[in-house]
Each structure stands twice: as C-alpha cells, then as structure tokens.
Structure 1
Amino acid sequence: MSLNSFCLSAALLSMAIACSTVAADDDTALICAEAEERYVDLFGQPSSDAEGVTVVTMYKYKFCPEDLSVPVGTTVHWVNVDKRTSHSVVLKDEGIPESDRLFPKEHFEFTFLTAGPPQTYLCGPHWETQEMIGRVTVTP
C-alpha cells in the first residue's frame, strides 16, 4: 500500500468514526427527547420543574442525561419512564446497595453530600448488555 493510499484510508476511517459518534449522539438525543415527553405525559410537567430534585429519566436503556453535574447537597431523582421495562440504580462509589427494581413511574433518590471526581452509576440489569451507564460529577 502506498503512503497516499494509507493516508486516504486513515482519513476515511477517521471520518467514519466521527460520523458514527455523531449518529450515536443523535440517537441518544432523540431517546432523551422521547423520555422527556413520557415524563410530561406521566407527571404533567417537565422534569426541570420537579421541586427540590434533579431528575434523571430512565428510558430505552439510557439515563437521560447520561452526564450530570450537580452541586453538593443535590438530590438526584432517577425515574423510570419506560412502558414495560424495570431498571435499577447502582452507585458503587457511594457504597450503597443497588436500588430495588424500578418499574414504570417508580423512582429512586439519592442526595450527594461530597464533592469529587466524576462517578459512574449504572442500571444493575442492563449495564453490561445494554451499556446503560451514567456519570455524575458533584461540585463544591
């Protein structure tokens, strides 16, 4: 393979990777928009209007938003807005046990009391098979 062919192949591969990343981001954005619509249908208000908590929806094997930044003292409210699937929340870094299975319209809450680096949380039954993983950063 000539250097020009190699460079062209590398450039095409780079473009394909960038396009697949954009497509995945677009898919997540669409899923999260649907999740918000479901939340409004179920609870009669946008998730941003929930008093005293930050809402993370669980829908189609995604946490929405997947990345979250909150100040110390914030209570995060994970709510299942799927139609038939149950989910859970595992906060390994916090040392608490996995939540019960959350069926549609059910929720789990946790108040973050310590600032620190990003923490990964996951859905117990779906993190390996569906890559249902989220991240939270708690700021001072």
Structure 2
Amino acid sequence: MCFKPFCHSAALLSLLVFVPAASADEKTEAICAEAEERYADMFAHPSSEEDGVTVVKMYKYKFCPQALTVPVGTTVRWVNVDKRTSHTVHLKETDTPESDRLFPEEDFEFTFLVPGPQNYLCGPHWETQKMIGMVTVTP
C-alpha cells in the first residue's frame, strides 16, 4: 500500500534507478563532437578540411581524438578550442621541448618522422585530469 503523494515519486525513482549512466566513451565522444563544433565555428571549416596536417583538438581536458594513427612524415596540429583554459603539448619520446602554453585558438605543430607509438600529454593537466594522448606512426 502506498501513501498517494509518494506513490508517483516512488515509481519515477524506480525508473531512474534503471536508466544506465553514460559511459566514459560516450562522454568523451560528446566532448569531442562539441570540440569539433567549436573548431568549425572558430575557423569557418571542419578540422578534416585542413590541408597537409592532422588536427587534434584540445577541449575540456581531453585530446580529440585521444589516439590516432598516421604515416611517417605526417604533421599533427594540436589546437586549443577551449574557452578559457590553456594547454600544452609534451611529446614524451622525442627531444622536442614541451610547447608553450596554448591559449584559445592557438596551436602547436609537430611532424612525426620516426615510426612507432608516441605518447604525449598536456603538462598542466595530465596528472589531475588525465589529459594524455597517443600517436601511432606507421612506416
């Protein structure tokens, strides 16, 4: 038996309990879709239309995409599409120094000449936000 004012609430609560939360992958996909929209708004074209470079967006403490595979000789451009946060790019396996802080709409480029997996991170945010990425370079 149910006291009338609470019956409806209990039924709604039981429905909420069974609604699955979005997975981490779904949240990242949504953030990266939003990052792409911001990129297109900032530069008046999608990132896929950049000639000669592969674009990685930095947004909401994520690299978008977080992992990519490119052939030797590919230039990757990291672009900060956040509103207020600065980021860096630190290519751990190269002799390249960490980039300067990249503020909104600023970018950093690197051409990959050595095959293999190459980890990178955002210096200020890799520990606290797990802002880490991977480029796999194929021969």
Q: How does the TM-score come out when normalised to structure 1?
A: 0.83
Question: Which 5+ residue runs of structure 1 have no aligned equivalent?
Answer: 1-18
Identity of aligned residues (%): 73
- Letter of the 2:131 partner, please give it: M
| Equivalent residue, structure 2, for 1:101 | 101
From the CA coordinates, give the structure whose radius of gyration is larger. Answer: 2
Instruction: Report the CA distance between 1:96 and its aligned residue.
Output: 1.1
| Equivalent residue, structure 2, for 1:136 | 135
1:121-132 equivalences in 2 (<5 Å): 121-132=120-131
| Equivalent residue, structure 1, for 2:78 | 78
- Letter of the 2:62 partner, please give it: K
Instruction: Report the CA distance between 1:125 and its aligned residue.
Output: 0.2
- Letter of the 1:76 partner, please give it: V
Q: Which runs of 4+ in 1 moved over 3 A?
A: none
- Letter of the 1:63 partner, please give it: F
More helix by share: 1
Instruction: Report the CA distance between 1:69 and its aligned residue.
Output: 0.3
Whole-Å separation in 2 of the counterparts to 1:93 and 1:86:
22
Whole-Å separation in 2 of the counterparts to 1:68 and 1:112:
12
CA RMSD in angstroms comes to 1.2
Instruction: Report the CA distance between 1:82 and its aligned residue.
Output: 0.2
Is 1:54 aligned to residue 54 of structure 2? yes
